[in-house]
Amino acid sequence: MKSLIENLILPVEHTSKGLVFDCRMCGQCILHSTGLTCPMRCPKNLRNGPCGGVRPNGSCEVYPDKPCVWVQAVERAPRLPFWRDHIHHLQPPVNWQLQGTSSWINLISGADQVRPAGWDAKATRPNPQDKHEKR
Ligand code: SF4
């Protein structure tokens, strides 16, 4: 049963983030790591970059008429005033038990920080630019 706070916050989050980010209410928001591009708009719900099916023009493999969410994320992340490097953070698997809950409440309660056993929270994705700098 939802608390009074959830009943108050959920519609506000759903409406505001739905309008601005096309939010799918996953309950574990990583917009700051994706150039403010909702990764749950990816039809494969990928949280760590594009699949191998991105088309040469940057559109989605599943919906060719739409841009790949992750191509957008990579393009947008450097334009953010903050969190630019967060695009390189390795994201844990989606916790589907949080679907439909408030990511704002989960952020405060820490529910969005629960990781599967063995998950390395400090891990980051390799930055391709780092490789080039070492050459
Ligand atoms: S990452 Fe989750 S909470 Fe954040 S905008 Fe996307 S669906 Fe909504």
Confidence at residue 54, expressed as pLDDT on a 0 to 100 scale: 97
- Atom 4 (ligand 1): residue with closest C-alpha? 29
Give the C-alpha separation, 61 to 11, whole Å. 32
Give the C-alpha separation, 100 to 97, whole Å. 8
> Is there a domain that residue 22 lies in?
no
Kindly give the distance from the C-alpha atom of residue 64 to the centroid of ligand 1, in angstroms, as a whole number. 22
134 pLDDT band, cuts 50/70/90, is very low
**Which whole-number Å values give the CA distances from 3 to 7, 10, 91, 98, 113, in the listed order?**
6, 10, 28, 15, 20
DSSP SS3 for 27: coil
> Is there a domain that residue 113 lies in?
yes
> Is there a domain that residue 17 lies in?
no
Does 67 score more than 80 pLDDT?
A: yes
- Atom 7 (ligand 1): residue with closest C-alpha? 24
- Atom 1 (ligand 1): residue with closest C-alpha? 29
How many independent structural domains does the chain possess? 1
The arithmetic mean of pLDDT across residues 18-41, rounded, is 97
Give tens-digit pLDDT for 96-112.
999 999 999 999 999 99
pTM of the model: 0.86
- The tokens for 91 are 């994201």
Range of the domain at 113: 28-95+109-134
> Is there a domain that residue 80 lies in?
yes
Compute the chain's Rg from CA coordinates. 16
Confidence at residue 25, expressed as pLDDT on a 0 to 100 scale: 98
The proportion of the chain whose per-residue pLDDT surpasses 70, expressed as a percent, equals: 88
Give tens-digit pLDDT for 68-92.
999 999 999 999 999 999 999 999 9
